[in-house]
Structure 1
Amino acid sequence: MTDRPWTTRRISRRDLLVAGGASAGLVALPACSWLDTDPAGDSGPTDAAGTDLMEAPELAARVEAGELPPLSERLPGNPAVVEPVDRVGVYGGTWSSALLGPEDEAWLQRTVGYDPLLRWNPEWTEAVPNIAESVEQSPDGHEFVITLRAGMKWSDGTPFTADDIVFAFEDFLMNKEISPAAPTFLTNGGQVAALTRVDDQTVRFTFAEPNGLFIENLALLNTGDALTTYPRHYLQQFHPAYTQGVDAAAAAAGFGSWTELMLARAETYQNAEKPTLNAWMLTSALGDATTVTAERNPYYWKTDPDGRQLPYIDRVSFEVISDAEVILLKATNGEFSFHTRHVTSLANKPVLADGREQGGYTFTTLRSSLMNEMVIFLNLTHQDPVKRAIFGTKDFRIGLSHAIDRAELNTATFQEEGEPWQAAPSPDSKFFDEGLATQYLEYDLDLANEALDRAGLTERDGAGFRLGPDGRPFSIEVEVSDPGVVPYWLDAMNLVVGYWSEVGINARTRPEDRSLFKERTEANQHDAGVWVGPGGLGDETRRPFFYLPTMRFEQAFAPLWAQWYQSGGTQGEEPPAATKEQCELFWQFAQTPDADERDELFRQILQIAHEQFYVIGTLRVPTGYGIVRDDFHNVPAEMPESFDFATPGGSSPSQYFIEA
């Protein structure tokens, strides 16, 4: 499988981290080719009427009418240039899609909301310039200088400058009345970073300890855009440091305090009035509306290679639908331009495949970042000392793994698209470890029984179920979020419970609402659970939750150890030596500025995961799919699928276009 599904000029690590002219011993992250900074040519392609178009016709008409400044005054001096996937596009049209209910903010983030300070390149291998024209990292990893694009503007035409970054940091993110806890990506060594305004286009972040993850964090949703989503000129009217009488204004607007008013007005998708830097700006907000719409941002700061302002598409329209079956019906009817969520499951693939010709759409391949569709985790820090001892015995976990008929599981619930796999990075990953991925996968009841006997569960009751070492009945309750991220988890886990009964393990599933699942796992109240396995390809080091205990919810295989890790050893329970070594390695990983050294540290973490065999994997499904209407262009034939990549945001939706 190719790692470069569409044409770009490849960016090497050296190109990314070393820039000529870097001063004061800093290492620069320069602007790169797929977001070039030198638009070529004075005129671009022509429309059907033969007129040179450097901007959308509707914007040109507004300029002519005196409603907008000319394009040269709306673009920054050094706009980002996006290389199209297939070809330069034409202006116009509406991208139609859907939201699964009014809570589906994630799809808005992924489609019209991914424009952080840095962004991922299409291959998802490097963080590259975006809003930030460059980021310079000091060799020791303590200091980062961010240079913004001069002349950038918010969607209402107000200049975007370093003052907006300072406001977001000091008056919003670090204001304890608004945000009680500082964002983790802005802290390390137990201290919040120091922010210095250098000039109108430049800020400097200084950390107490080396921060090896800061650059990657600047390319992620909800971190890289946290500093660029709070326009000072708009939000300062709700802040007491800048405006008098904000409590009275809040009360008049029906809010209990100025902070409630501020938080409401700072919402990106609940407040269509707030200016944005994104390609499209909301004209109707997420809430009670049946349709959420976003119109082209006339001040968007990117162009195609011919200097034509992006986005090509006029507007994006999301129908708010609460029933996934209705979304599926509309998808098969060809009512969506491009869609990759909610209904593009394995179970629905035959239905959507049958509808392609009549609906006028094709499939695009989504290369999954997941290393597993269903990871089974036992609670290794269980409150019951007997269950803790049993679950903590590696042979017990080995026995359960050998008892799973993954071939039948694949046929019955995964549409035969899965591959037996443990919790391990994918074959295409630079961290691939064949031993970790394939150990204990063999379906063999003899091997399963032998391992369970070695674990000390040799005695059975009259029904053939194994007794605990204390001679008392032993059982496992596996908690399953229902509905889950993967809709067939419950069916799959019911099969697994049946397999385990064949080797004398008395187990049952416990379907429950996701909020209750979260509550119980965080409180260390569960026997076992299931979740998807991130960290397969592209996000291995950012989402290593099944390789070492860093999470207490979705990957809660040892909540008390995770609490110890998260608190820096001040809370929770100190893990055993091998696991503690992993935690210490990961702390070191986060403080290491050199990427190659970080990779080596992570390989050491994976080696310990290999030896410990914390959790039980089932199957991985290497690829998913999305639907693309035949008149919708520049969508990659293949792209990564991950929230970290903000799929499809990482493929630059501003260069999508519509043409029959």
Structure 2
Amino acid sequence: MRTYAQIISTVLATLSALLVCGALHAAEHLPYREVPFFQAKVADHALLPVEQRMPKEPLVVDLNAKGRLFGIPGGDIVTIVARARDIRYQSAIGYTRLVGLDENFDLYPDILQSVDNQNDRVFTFHIRPGHRWSDGSFFTAEDFRFYWEDIANNSSISPVGPPEFMLIDGRGPRFEVIDQYTVRYTWDKPNPRFLPQLASPRDPFIYRPAHYLKQFHASYTDQKLLDVVARQQKLKSWAGLFNRMDTMYDLSDPDMPTLQPWKPVTYAPANRYYFERNPYYHRVDYKGVQLPYVDRLIFDISAPGLMAAKANAGEVDLLFRGLTMRDIPVLKEGEKVKDYRTRLWRVARGSELALYPNLNCSDPVFRKLNRDVRFRRALSLGIKRKTINMVLLYGLGREGNNTVISKSPLYRDEFRYRNSSYDPDEANRLLDELGLKRSDSTGLRILPDGRPLIITVELDGDQLLMADGLALIGEFWQDLGIKLIVKPQDRAILNNRSYSGQTIMSASVGLDNAIPNALTPPTELVPMHQDNLAWPKWGQYIETKGNSGEPIDIPEARELAQLYEQWMAAEDTPSRQAIWLKILENHADNLWSIGTVAGSLHPIVVKNNLANVPEKAFYSWAPTSFIGVYRMDEFFWATAERRQGGNR
């Protein structure tokens, strides 16, 4: 790719010069102060002064209102990841979005200056004038147009078309460029998912750096030349080359401009990856200091099993991924000697261990059994959740179904506890009612086709805590005449087996976002995506518009799909809340997944003197984006010695 970049370097240099020399706007209301990391470059005229780098109207952060300290810029934060590809999660951690969630999980404009929303049908985005990409090029409406017209609606690059959340009744919005800093999306019906999806942990990036990516696009660069470069990279066509170079989410290419607080500077392969502060980042504090406060993030590659040990040895400044509740004793041991603290954040999941009977199972006997709510209720009533809580979560969890947690305004006790008490007598009665008689010789119940009732539960092989929980469930179910076999395997294999109907039952974590509100799309709880292990083929059918999978054929599940359509069409918050409550009640009644215990504590290792890291918070993929919503760009070193070295 370097060879190709050299071929077009003259064109790029010209384009870059034109963009950088455009109109400059300094924010007059702030006394900007240059951070030490850039002072030498500014003095040498290698970089514009900060007042010319910032948007005309930056996002000004009120740290006092958040109960945080104003920071002092400088220093590095060292962390570790299990594999090089995990550096892509920096997009989630940096959490810079068109619109984002704050710490109360309310939406606010972030990259965008403002959003006009007319009844969830017409969304007008106002871009901050003067906002720049990390390479100094201006961020404008052209970056949105390029994505929509040249990527999302280009069949060579995106064969399935625009992302599903941008489609209503299978059709995308009418897209308009109003002016250089304004774009508009219009649907004929409400699309309440649009803004929440833009704030998700995996940013859909409905914009791209057009000035950079056009060099790999056949509409702007000679296709024959692109195809030659593609073949050199062992790719079939220019479209494959384009998709390889479009690393917005991965953050793996230092040449790719970004709007994130830190930009990558290390080329793969490497054992240590560096991210340096983005000189054109759009956030600033009230004292005129451009964020982020910390100059560099450093990611060391380490084996997954060594995360806690390395933290215990003081080799990290901040660590959260790769740790579990089991690591807390080890982490606590090293605190005094290695100058760090272990903070315990509550995990915001519906259940730490949930069972997913595959309703689309290919085995006809288990397919019929899994679809019978009496069977699912019997399995639930046969689980002694208090024991699981004591063994796995030291008694600190909340037992019950896989549902929202008490932090959510949608929480109701009945949704967590209905059909979740330990009642082996009722469980046995239901199994008897199903005609599953016990064998005199083995004590196991017998399936209608004569096989013993043996359930193989498949799970991700890395989930050791989950395997221990399944071993306990196996003991409980043995008393019901059911044998449970635990089958750990690679996650990709597990997913493929589920999607094809080969799994009888799977185990995984429960509801990922267990602190939703009425405006949160209820997509996790309705059969519309194949990655839900309970109904993969129903999800396939929806995702492929009927080209694969199976149509929903259980009335209670069709009710969920209908409720989702009602939620999409609702035009006020009370209506959406009422629909949410009906969806949650449907799950409590039908037990599409079988939860066990929620509320584990997740260890967050924080070096002493790293300030503005919350003492208590929620941890999850969604909605917290790991630690993203807590704004890592506001973390800073409170001691001068830790702020040194930013220019190394």
TM-score (ref. length: structure 2): 0.88
Q: 2:384 — aligned with what?
A: 405
Q: CA deviation at 1:543?
A: 7.5
Q: Does 1:93 align with 2:75?
A: yes
Range moving further from structure 2, 596-605 or 210-219: 596-605
Q: Distance in 1 between matches of 2:612 and 2:80?
A: 20
Identify which range, 290-299 or 184-193, moves more after superposition. 184-193
RMSD across aligned positions (CA): 2.4
Name the residue aligned to 1:524: 501
Judged with a 3 Å threshold, the aligned counterparts in structure 2 of structure 1 residues 471 and 273 are, in CA distance, closer, same or farther, namely closer
Distance 1:133 1:252 in 2: 42
Give distance in 2, aligned partners of 1:593 and 1:565.
24
Aligned to 2:254: 272
Residues 424, 433 of structure 1: 8 Å contact kept? no
Output one character per residue of 1:40-95: Cα deviation in whole Å (capped at 9) or x when no partner: 9754xxxxxxxxx7121132222222111222211111000123352111111001
Q: Which residue of 2 aligns with 1:508?
A: 485
Query: Partners in 1 of 2:30 and 2:96 — Cα distance?
Result: 26
Distance 1:467 1:254 in 2: 54
- Relative to structure 1, the CA distance from residue 278 to residue 472 in structure 2 (aligned partners, 3 Å threshold; closer, same or farther) is closer
Contact 1:40 1:305 in 2 (8 A): no
Superposed, which structure 2 residues align to 1:152-551 within 5 Å?
A: 152-181=131-160, 182-224=162-204, 226-228=205-207, 230-244=208-222, 245-251=225-231, 255-268=235-248, 269-285=251-267, 287-321=268-302, 323-343=303-323, 345-469=324-448, 472-484=451-463, 487-535=464-512, 537-539=514-516, 544=522, 547-551=525-529
- Residue pair 2:522, 2:580 contacting (<8 A) in 1 also: no
Cα pair distance change 1:291/1:146, threshold 3 Å: same
Q: CA deviation at 1:231?
A: 0.7
Contact 2:352 2:509 in 1 (8 A): yes
Q: Tell me which amino acid in the other structure corresponds to 1:110.
A: A
Q: For residues 602-648 of structure 1, give each alpha carbon's deviation from its aligned partner in whole angstroms, at most 9, with x where no partner exists.
A: 11212222222222111112542311111211112223322233221
Cα distance between partner residues in 1 of 2:628 and 2:612: 13
2:9 alignment partner in structure 1: none
Deviation at 1:462, TM superposition (A): 1.4
Cα deviation, 1:285-322, whole Å, max 9, x if unaligned, reads 4x42111101111111110122211111111100012x
Query: Residues 534 and 544 of structure 1 are in contact (CA less than 8 Å); yes or no, is this contact kept in structure 2?
Result: no
Conserved 8 A contact 2:294-2:635: yes
Q: Distance in 2 between matches of 1:531 and 1:380?
A: 16
Q: Secondary structure at the match of 1:347?
A: helix
Higher helix share: 2
Q: What are the ranges of 5 or more consecutive residues in structure 2 without an aligned counterpart?
A: 1-25, 640-648
Deviation of the 1:650 alpha carbon: 1.1
Match for 2:43: what amino acid?
E
Cα drift, residue 138 of structure 1: 1.5
Shift of 1:536: 5.1
- 1:381 and 1:647 map into 2 onto residues whose CA distance is 32
SS of 2:595's partner is: coil
Deviation at 1:329, TM superposition (A): 1.9
Aligned twin of 1:557: 534
Equivalent in the alignment of 2:643:
none
Partners in 1 of 2:196 and 2:306 — Cα distance? 38
1:128 equivalent among 88, 92, 108: 108
Range that drifts further, 603-612 or 291-300: 603-612
Going from structure 1 to structure 2, the CA distance change for 1:316 and 1:423 (only over 3 Å counts) comes to same
Instruction: Determine the structure 2 residue equivalent to 1:107.
Output: 89
Equivalence for 1:576: 554
| 1:46-85 matched pairs, under 5 angstroms | 54-84=33-63, 85=67
1:364 aligned counterpart, secondary structure: strand
Change (3 A) 1:621 1:543: farther
Query: 1:118 pairs with 92, 99, 106, which one?
Result: 99
Deviation at 1:39, TM superposition (A): 8.4
CA distance in 2, matches of 1:299, 1:106: 21
For 1:472 and 1:275, locate their aligned partners in 2 and report how far apart those are by CA, in whole Å: 59
Preserved contact between residue 39 and residue 307 of structure 1 (Cα < 8 Å):
no
Equivalent pair of 1:422/1:617 in contact (CA under 8 Å)? yes
Partner amino acid for 2:469?
A: A
Gaps of 5+ in 1: 1-37, 44-52
State the alpha-carbon separation in 2 of the partners of residues 246 and 573 from structure 1: 42
Contact 1:368 1:622 in 2 (8 A): yes
Q: Is it true that 1:642 corresponds to 2:624 in the alignment? A: no
Shift in Å, 1:380: 2.4
Whole-angstrom distance in 1 between the partners of 2:619 and 2:285: 24
Question: Per the alignment, in what secondary structure is the counterpart of residue 439 of structure 2?
Answer: coil
1:39–1:81 Cα contact (<8 Å) kept: no
CA distance in 2, matches of 1:392, 1:333: 50
Instruction: Give the letter aligned to residue 635 of structure 2.
Output: Y
Structure 1 residues 352 and 615: CA distance shift in structure 2, 3 A = same
Per the TM alignment, residue 493 of structure 1 is displaced from its structure 2 partner at its CA by 0.8
Quick one: distance in 1 between partners of 2:27 and 2:400?
A: 46
Query: Does the CA contact (< 8 Å) of 1:80 and 1:130 recur in 2?
Result: yes
AA aligned to 1:489 is M
TM-superposed CA distance for 1:102, in Å, is: 1.7
Q: Cα–Cα, structure 1 residues 490 and 622, in superposed 2: closer, same or farther, change >3 Å? A: closer
- Answer with 74-83 or 250-259: which moved more: 250-259
1:619 to 2:601 alignment: no
Higher mean alpha-carbon deviation, 584-593 vs 299-308, is at 584-593
Q: 1:566, 1:227 → 2: CA distance?
A: 19
Q: Identify if the C-alpha distance between structure 1 residues 500 and 253 changes in structure 2 by more than 3 Å, giving closer, same or farther.
A: closer
* Equivalent pair of 1:533/1:546 in contact (CA under 8 Å): no
Structure-2 separation of matches of 1:594 and 1:535: 25
User: Partners in 1 of 2:378 and 2:233 — Cα distance?
Assistant: 61
